[in-house]
Chain A
Amino acid sequence: MARFIARRLLVTIPVLLGLVFVVFSLARIIPGDPCRAVLGERATDAVCNDFIVRYGLDQPIPVQFVLYVEQLSHGDLGTSIKHSRPVTELLIERLPTTIELTLMALLFAIVIGIPLGLLSAYRRNSPIDVGSMIIANIGVSMPVFVLGLLLQFLFALLLKGTPLALPPSGRLSSGVEVLSLVEVWHLESVTGAVRGVLDFVSRLYIPTALITGQWGALGDALRHLLLPMIALGTIPLAIIARITRSSLLEVLGLDYVRTARAKGLRERSVVLRHATRNALLPVVTIVGLQLGGLLSGAVLTETTFNLAGVGRTVFEAITGRDYVVIQGFTLIIAVTYVMVNLLVDLSYGILDPRVRQR
């Protein structure tokens, strides 16, 4: 097992370096003068010379790359042109919204998707199976933002005034506030890294409200998250349901399932204890792979639902041509994605001993 983990880690290192290289190169192929691309057309020559020296743009490309890696190793992602703030600071501020959104969307996809897939396989060709597969097909075909807009239209306009109405944008209603952990626990004296962590967690509204028992705010935050969660979670839900279904159908056809039936085990026990457990193995991989789509989708969902998260920041950076932010955020998102895939691979090795041998 240790060898398996070591090998997987070794394979990840060149990929990470490759990611850094791609992000670095993309910044270099921006057509025209890099200084004026970043600072705007009207930057004077003096300002530009200063800029070029400051960012080492007068150095040869390989040297620039080393400088960039060195800068990254200090946790420095550059300074946003538009916000005039370090990109890391911006990231820490915007990340909680995205974490909350993507995790809830993934949870929604798993909690609904897996049972739906299993049910479709148990009751193959029943109305439940056919119906859920039709919905799954439409679900994967609809762009995230179209579904988001459709949901807003339904729940915020057509159902307005009914108990089913849901808010179409933002994280909380105006006037509602989630008190931070520091405020609730009277920890104003705490400073430094601990304070940073507390502030970060406090921006995850749902866990914070849950821990500190702010039930009114919790309800409000959940109501706001419901539509974005469905919009973002529907594609992974559909994919998970389809994979679960086909995986269980495949396992149900295997010899050992027939053996279990031949032994006279009850059908319930065969399906639930013998087949389902093995059928869920490929689902683990698929769930991990969904994260890339979720992170891409977050750009669209946060734009549609006006949530100030990482995705919305990328969107604004594109519109505002804030290359430093685009670069920094892309790198972080890609690294997160690689890390999650690594964890998925490792967990797969733990769950299925056959994988380790390869």
Chain B
Amino acid sequence: MTDQTTAPPVLGDAEGLLTARPASLWRDTLAGILRQRSAVIGLAILIMFTFVMIFADQIAPFGAKDSMLGLEPGVVKQAPPCVHLLGCPADRYEHILGLDTNFQDVFSRIVIGSRISIGIGFAAIGLAIIIGGTIGAVAGYLGGKTDNILMRTMDVVLAFPSLLLAIVIVSALGSSLVNTMLAIGIVSIPIYARIVRASVLGARENDYVTASRALGESTAGILVRRIMPNAVTPLIVQGTLGIGTAVLEIAALAFVGVVSLSEVTWGSMIAIEFQRLFTAPHIILAPGLAITLVVLGFNLLGDGLRDAFDPRLNR
């Protein structure tokens, strides 16, 4: 049997620290990310999708709900992809990912759909970090009964399979984009509450906190200025991974139909067409690939950030 006692961390050599050029957390982190091939790939994927989200209207050749019926003579519904550069006859209209059942351009829908599909994920996780962070900070700093009540409440939320709870929340509140964002935000709150609480508990007893208290700094001031900075790095790591999960959940919510199908999202694109898998696979596989790629980007970057922030792994 192992006997693993928690030894105090070994301090690095002090001389090395004195002679080293002053480092900032962010410069170190960026360097740490750029050292890892997978994190660079993740970052590249995300930069590409951010670009697509911002310039969606310029990139998309058609509107998300524009029907090609009547605009292009001889148009066929569910037409397969046609790219002139790849040998598609020049007399046919170019649709690089083909058309769907309503004669809409799949590529344009994916480009424009990126805004909701990813944007809600950002908003939901932002909300979860703010609310969860506040709960965690209060619970950790005050301790005692407040801590107990708040964290047991978080346990109840965690006791539901998250996607299922989100589904139930949206179907209770009514299906709108705001409610979808709220639902995904709510089910993510406990994770962030736990992270911040753990950081606060770790930092609360430090001498510099006692010193601030002795100097008469207010409780809120101590929490925000002295303690919370300790929680920033784990929040960034978990937040990055969390947005990926949120993107998956939005897609799943849209797929089961609790997000209105009239909203252009990747999940609803699949939900509308999934019965046509065998006749027109491109309509379903293209948005599926988009979801996978974005989530992969967040996961790779999140893992990379975790390694980059962790000083124990510094080479």
Question: Which A residues lie at the B interface, using CB under 8 A?
Answer: 14-15, 18-19, 21-23, 26-27, 29-31, 137-138, 140-146, 149-150, 152-153, 156-157, 254, 256, 278, 292-293, 295-297, 299-300, 303-304, 314-315, 318-319, 321, 323, 326-327, 330, 333-334, 337-338, 341, 353
Question: Contact between A337 and B161 (Cβ–Cβ < 8 Å)?
Answer: yes
In the bound complex, residues from chain B placing their C-beta under 8 Å from that of A321 are 171
- A-side interface mostly: helix
Interface string of B263-297 (1 = CB under 8 A from A): 00001001000100110010011001101110110
In the bound complex, residues from chain A placing their C-beta under 8 Å from that of B299 are 137, 140-141
Question: Contact between B152 and A300 (Cβ–Cβ < 8 Å)?
Answer: no
Chain B residue at minimal CB-CB distance from A291: B161
Show 26 A/B contacts (Cβ-Cβ < 8 Å), sorted by A: A14-B152, A18-B159, A21-B156, A137-B300, A141-B293, A141-B296, A142-B288, A143-B288, A143-B291, A143-B295, A145-B255, A146-B289, A149-B274, A152-B277, A153-B277, A153-B281, A157-B277, A157-B281, A293-B163, A296-B161, A300-B252, A315-B256, A315-B257, A321-B171, A323-B171, A337-B160
Tell me if B29 counts as interface (CB < 8 A to partner A): no
* A-B interface contact total, Cβ < 8 Å: 144
In the bound complex, residues from chain A placing their C-beta under 8 Å from that of B291 are 142-143, 146
In the bound complex, residues from chain B placing their C-beta under 8 Å from that of A295 are 161, 164
Interface string of B18-60 (1 = CB under 8 A from A): 0000000000000000000010000000000000000000000
9 more A-B contacts (CB under 8 A) besides A145-B274, A149-B285, A296-B161? Answer: A21-B156, A26-B172, A141-B292, A141-B299, A149-B274, A149-B284, A296-B252, A300-B252, A334-B165
Interface string of B109-145 (1 = CB under 8 A from A): 0000000000000000000000000000000000000
Question: Given A153-B285, A337-B160, does the pair A299, B292 have CB atoms closer than 8 Å?
Answer: no
Chain A residue at minimal CB-CB distance from B166: A296
Question: Given A15-B159, A26-B172, A144-B252, does the pair A296, B281 have CB atoms closer than 8 Å?
Answer: no
Please give the distance in Å from B182's CB to the nearest CB on chain A: 12
In the bound complex, residues from chain A placing their C-beta under 8 Å from that of B4 are 254
In the bound complex, residues from chain B placing their C-beta under 8 Å from that of A153 are 277-278, 281, 285
Please give the distance in Å from B38's CB to the nearest CB on chain A: 7
CA separation between A337 and B156, bound complex, in Å?
11
In the bound complex, residues from chain B placing their C-beta under 8 Å from that of A318 are 167, 171, 256-258
CA separation between A299 and B155, bound complex, in Å?
23
Chain B residue at minimal CB-CB distance from A251: B2
Question: Contact between B164 and A137 (Cβ–Cβ < 8 Å)?
Answer: no
Question: Contact between B296 and A137 (Cβ–Cβ < 8 Å)?
Answer: yes
CA separation between A180 and B44, bound complex, in Å?
56
Partner of A149, one of B157, B162, B277: B277
Question: Given A138-B296, A303-B256, does the pair A19, B160 have CB atoms closer than 8 Å?
Answer: yes
CA separation between A338 and B252, bound complex, in Å?
23
Question: Given A152-B277, A337-B161, does the pair A15, B156 have CB atoms closer than 8 Å?
Answer: yes
Question: Contact between A150 and B285 (Cβ–Cβ < 8 Å)?
Answer: yes
In the bound complex, residues from chain B placing their C-beta under 8 Å from that of A333 are 161, 164
Question: Contact between B284 and A19 (Cβ–Cβ < 8 Å)?
Answer: no
CA separation between A299 and B281, bound complex, in Å?
22
Partner of A30, one of B172, B258, B300: B172
Tell me if B251 counts as interface (CB < 8 A to partner A): yes
Question: Given A138-B296, A146-B291, A337-B161, does the pair A330, B153 have CB atoms closer than 8 Å?
Answer: no
Question: Contact between B164 and A299 (Cβ–Cβ < 8 Å)?
Answer: yes
Question: Given A149-B288, A299-B167, does the pair A334, B160 have CB atoms closer than 8 Å?
Answer: yes
